Structure 1
């Protein structure tokens, strides 16, 4: 795997949060917080990436991630090239690496990549030219590092930076969730000690992903006294038939309702990476309620992605 850091500890690529040193992770969060407090810096940051080109190379659909990366790059003054796989030569059989190399030959040095295959972004980074930086905007079920960073920023804003004191619950389809994996990697790096996982057995991974976590299928018990609840989307497009009995049964057993949320700490917060399946994993009253930080996550995403692009290319 291509090393993410150079010899000075500066990011070359951001493909995963796994193994990322704590000081680098905290540095990115601190910088994102500064940018957020400055209103994402408005026009004051336009010169940081002026004259540099960034391509959003997306082989999968996206709304929040793609839009916030585009906005982040523009606020830093970069030229942004949007790549749509459905309208590109990939439909004629061109490989992802050939696509990257051709766009790289046009002078593009920053790539924000989303791909359906596990490890695809790290593989592309290995073949990229020296001086080209890649950011993983979500690959397969493996990793979504900037979502993990914005979730940690949102948690830190709400609960402080002592992650050892925060009880965090992640609920739902962990097996298919790259967000859950990145969140777990970041939580461990930041020192979280009380991480609970809840979901049906068929939707929990059978690898080392949940090592050190408290795992249960009982959502009511898992919610008891937690400080933060991360609800995950039921990723029906990635799962085989039969993993859940029905949508109604899933909501009955694992949907977060206002009544259920009362089992958590009085000041508990609710997060969701989106897109939400309202009435499946989360009810409207919770998603739109006073304890929801879902839109703050979206807002924080722009600041986090600015911090990452600044570190990589600034």
Structure 2
């Protein structure tokens, strides 16, 4: 079990984070929502500081959200273009990161294909490292923004008493893993739903469910059977690039996609989330993605606020 993120000087994952540290971060992020919504101006607290974004996998929301978050708090952003960097010549991830650190940056935000990349760099770095997604391991800020979205929707500081279904390609999903840690720590019960080929049985024992106040995890292979028992549903993209389509066929959408007809069977008030990008017509019908239940764009806005809060916390800690 790792220490709370705000004690390590990095944000590498959410496994082992305490409820109090998650609530504190979400409270900070909630206070920043007016800035994220462009309803008030940024803080300007970190003018003269620079954060670097090192993305070795494609990204739209996470990369731009971190860039916006950094600028909203006054920081400059140094962006590495991985396709034209020296990594294409064989330079290692660690050498790249240490060279960028030597340029005088104050924090580095990293996404990489290999699990454990940000953790490796953090062992050698003198500045905060933020994991923006590493392989199939974790994506902590996505889970934090999902938690903030749900807390705002239900007007709660925790998620006790709620059951959240996470549906789809659980095996490939760092989002599912990070959400399992954060949602259960905040008291929610999580149901992983998908075909056996995409929901490994070991996911059920991902968290220590015997801790006081921690929610449980269970696995289901029939989406229709859980619809009436959930308070929110999160659909995940089928990550074709990670398994070459193995285990996926034309029946997937019929059995595990959230069609308009299936969404109509959800209890009133059950919101729909998706971390993006959406494979429309596969895991989510366009009418559902754009409908009244959808919190997809709220998630994007909450992402800016969460990433502002993370950057503030780590940069303030670096200054103290």
TM value normalised by structure 2: 0.91
- 2:223 matched to which residue of 1? 219
Q: How do residues 100-119 of structure 1 correspond to structure 2 at under 5 angstroms?
A: 100-119=97-116
Q: What are structure 2's unaligned runs of at least 5 residues?
A: 207-215
Q: CA deviation at 1:226?
A: 1.5
- 1:207 matched to which residue of 2? 202
Q: CA deviation at 1:242?
A: 2.8
- 2:66 matched to which residue of 1? 69
- Report the Cα distance in structure 2 between the residues aligned to 1:237 and 1:96, rounded to whole angstroms: 21
Equivalent in 163, 167, 183 of residue 167 of structure 1: 163
- Report the Cα distance in structure 2 between the residues aligned to 1:12 and 1:189, rounded to whole angstroms: 21
- 1:228 matched to which residue of 2? 232
How many residue pairs were aligned? 305
- 1:45 matched to which residue of 2? 43
Q: How do residues 78-93 of structure 1 correspond to structure 2 at under 5 angstroms?
A: 78-93=75-90
- Report the Cα distance in structure 1 between the residues aligned to 2:62 and 2:86, rounded to whole angstroms: 23
Q: Which runs of 4+ in 1 moved over 3 A?
A: 1-5, 37-44, 208-212
Kindly provide the CA deviation profile for residues 101-123 of structure 1, in whole angstroms up to 9, marking residues without a partner as x. Answer: 11111101200000001111111
Judged with a 3 Å threshold, the aligned counterparts in structure 2 of structure 1 residues 53 and 302 are, in CA distance, closer, same or farther, namely: same
- 1:280 matched to which residue of 2? 282
RMSD of aligned Cα (Å): 1.7
- Report the Cα distance in structure 2 between the residues aligned to 1:148 and 1:21, rounded to whole angstroms: 14
Confirm whether residue 158 of structure 1 aligns to residue 153 of structure 2.
yes
- 1:304 matched to which residue of 2? 306
- Report the Cα distance in structure 1 between the residues aligned to 2:113 and 2:105, rounded to whole angstroms: 22
- Report the Cα distance in structure 2 between the residues aligned to 1:293 and 1:22, rounded to whole angstroms: 24
- Report the Cα distance in structure 1 between the residues aligned to 2:164 and 2:59, rounded to whole angstroms: 27
- Report the Cα distance in structure 2 between the residues aligned to 1:111 and 1:4, rounded to whole angstroms: 19
Q: CA deviation at 1:74?
A: 0.6
- Report the Cα distance in structure 2 between the residues aligned to 1:42 and 1:69, rounded to whole angstroms: 18
- 1:177 matched to which residue of 2? 173
Equivalent in 270, 273, 282 of residue 271 of structure 1: 273
Q: 1:4, 1:13 within 8 Å by CA — same for their partners in 2?
A: no
Q: 2:13, 2:131 within 8 Å by CA — same for their partners in 1?
A: yes
Q: What are structure 1's unaligned runs of at least 5 residues?
A: none
TM value normalised by structure 1: 0.93
